[in-house]
Structure formats: structure tokens, C-alpha cells
Amino acid sequence: MAASTVSAGYARNLMQFAVSRGADPAALAERSGLGPADLADPDDRIPWARYMDLMHAAKTLCAEPALALHLGAAQDLREFSVVGLICYAAPTMGEALAELNRFGRLVAEVDLPTAGGRFQIVPAGGDGLWLQDMRADPDSFPELTEATWTRFIAETRRHFPEAPFARAVHVTHAAPAYAAEYERVMQVPVVFASDRNAILIDPSWLDIELHNPSRYAFGVLVRHAETLLRDLESAGSMRGRVENLLLPVLHKGDLGMGEAARQLGLSRQSLYRRLKDEGIGYEALVDDLRRRMALRYLEGRKVSVNETAYLVGFSDPSSFSRAFKRWTGASPRARKAG
């Protein structure tokens, strides 16, 4: 899981929730290594290790061991991820589940030992079905199980209060000290130390028609998600690995090639050679990453030119303006205004 990522929107949702429950934002940032710049764009990527640090810090600072249960129940997926918007634009719950499997990596990359997607429908005997989370080693981070199942249950309950859905929940981890909170939040029996992470569901859930599905919105959102998915898949390259390393610290200025190589577990020469094999040098990679991030910030129109300069690692706005004109032929202020 250490090499995997989650979306910045997913991490920001946790950060904001923890703050709403009393955590100090500065303390959360210090303990997790995640600041506002890291979470500014919901489509950016955050290392799993940092997200886990954020979760553990949030639980401690809020003095709330069951925080992940309440996090999942508090907010719809569409509030912080394009994946949620896609799911709610699908015609039925079953089709939404298929889209969740298709694009779920954009929310959180997890290890899957089998094909078929993370969430699979498995016969349960009788007239029930298992909605099963197939990720590997779930007990290394049970908070993900907690937030996942409470979100499934709470979203269905909010939007379709009369529809039958969850009959029971099974989790593979042992019962925590706050086990009673599971049934209070989920309102169904919970089995700990099970052989599966799954919700026993009513089959009719798959046929629920979603409110106001939009085929136009669905198409627009899917095209955006497909672009993000291609970008994520390219992160398996050495260029992608370096960019993932640089993104959280881009605002601090240059991370030298030697230090980047060290953090990647490579020698400087090995990093140079592997980037060369992919047709790019280290300095050109950094320059292009700054260009792409600057364009994203300015086109989003949520930050000023000076703030953009800082976010992409320029301490001097005039230096940023010169670099931006070299990249695009225009000034950053003209680009933002356009």
C-alpha cells in the first residue's frame, strides 16, 4: 500500500471532517505532512502512507476512536470525488456499482488479488447477496473498511429510506473497544473476525433507480475520469513516480535530483538513466510539472497569480511570470483573466 495513492479530495474530506470534530488543522498538517497546498486540487494524488497518518492523527486529536465510522456516514462520495458524481449519474444502483469498480482507483488505489473489481456481488444463499470488498490485507487499515461500509449504508438510507439494503455487515478484523458503535451507526448486526469484508444485501438494491440520472452529465464526467485514470496508470513509469514524489513538496522549491533519487531508493545515476530511457531529463520534468500545475491552478480560478507562483515553487512572482510566459507565450494574469 505504501506505493499507492488516494485522491487529494478524499484526504481533504477527512481533514475537514476532523476539523469539524474539534481537531486543530495545524496539528493535523504537522502530524500527517499534508498542508492546504497538497489538498487544493481534489484530483491530485496523496501517498497512502500520508492518508493513514492523517487518519491516525485525526482519531487522536479528536479523541474519537470510531471517527472513521462517522466519517463514512457523514457525506456522499459525490461531494469530494468525480467518481461519486459518475455513480449518481448512472441509471440504477447496479450500474453505479459497475462504475465504482471501473473508476474506484481514482478515489483510493488498493491491492486487489482477483479480477472483477474491488466490490463484487457474491451469492449468499437464500435470497441474499454479499456485496464484498475484495481488497488484500484489509486488517492493516481497518479504518478503510469502517468508512467504506458506513458510506454505502448511510448514502442508501439518506436517498432511499424505504428501500431494503443492508441486512448484516461482516468484517475480517477483530472487534475494537468501540464495537458497539458499529451497530449504532450501521443499524444492522455486525460480525467481527469474519472470513470476508462484506455487506449482506437485499438483491432489490441493485435495481434501485437513481434520482434524475443524466446521460449527458454521465458522458462528460466519464471522459474526465478516463483522463484522470490514464494519468494515474502512467504513474507506474519512473516519470510518474518522480512526479508523485514532487507534488506534495512542489511549493517548497526544488527538490534536487540527488535527494529525489535517495527517496526513491535509487542512485542519482540510476534515476538519470531511467528518466533518459523515458525520453526526459530531471530538470525538464520539474519544469513541465510546474507548467501543468500552474495551468491547472489558474484555470480553476480559485487562487491568485501570486498564490499559484508559491504553489508551484517560485518564491519570486516575477520569476514565475517569466517562466509562465516561456511556457505559454502569455502572462499568468492574462491567462487567469481569459
pLDDT band (50, 70, 90) for residue 1: very low
268: in domain? yes
Q: Are 312 and 288 in contact (CB under 8 A)?
A: no
310: in domain? yes
Residue 287, pLDDT score:
92
Look at residue 237 and tell me whether its pLDDT is greater than 80: no
Cα separation, 149 vs 245, in Å, equals 31
Residue 2, pLDDT score:
36
| Count of H-run helices and E-run strands, the chain | 16, 7
Mean pLDDT of the 29-35 span: 90
Look at residue 247 and tell me whether its pLDDT is greater than 90: no
Residue 265, pLDDT score:
80
325: in domain? yes
Q: Are 103 and 220 in contact (CB under 8 A)?
A: no
For residue 283, report the phi and psi dihedrals to the nearest 5 degrees: -65, -40
Among the listed ranges 2-11, 20-29, 316-325, which one has the minimum average pLDDT value? Answer: 2-11
What is the pairing mode between strands 45-47 and 5-7?
Answer: antiparallel
Stated as kind and residue range, the H or E segment containing 61 is helix 48-61
User: How many domains does the chain fold into?
Assistant: 1
Residue 317 sits in which domain range?
235-337
DSSP 188: S
Question: How do residues 264-294 score in pLDDT, each as one tens digit?
Answer: 888 899 889 888 877 889 999 999 889 888 8
253: in domain? yes
Better-scored residue on pLDDT, 235 or 181: 181
Alpha helices, H only, 2-90: 8-20, 25-32, 48-61, 67-74, 82-89
For residue 200, report the phi and psi dihedrals to the nearest 5 degrees: -80, 115
pLDDT band (50, 70, 90) for residue 165: very high
Residue 338, pLDDT score:
56
Residue 213, pLDDT score:
64
274: domain CATH number is 1.10.10.60
Burial of 162 (0-12, 13-18, 19+ CB in 10 A): exposed
Cα separation, 156 vs 210, in Å, equals 10
254: in domain? yes
212: Cβ–Cβ under 8 A, 6 or more apart, which residues? Answer: none
pLDDT band (50, 70, 90) for residue 334: confident
Residue 38, pLDDT score:
87
Question: How do residues 45-78 score in pLDDT, each as one tens digit?
Answer: 888 888 999 999 999 999 999 999 999 999 888 8
pLDDT band (50, 70, 90) for residue 331: confident
Residue 56, pLDDT score:
96
| Closest residue by Cα to residue 61 from 11, 23, 103 | 23
SS (H, E, C) 302-330: CCCHHHHHHHCCCCCHHHHHHHHHHHHCC
Better-scored residue on pLDDT, 188 or 115: 188
Q: Which residue has the cell 514565475?
A: 320
Cα separation, 314 vs 250, in Å, equals 9
Cα separation, 135 vs 148, in Å, equals 12
Residue 217, pLDDT score:
76
Look at residue 226 and tell me whether its pLDDT is greater than 70: yes
Residue 300, pLDDT score:
65
Residue 204, pLDDT score:
96
Look at residue 234 and tell me whether its pLDDT is greater than 80: no
281: in domain? yes
2: in domain? no
219: in domain? no
Show the cell assigned to 100: 465504482
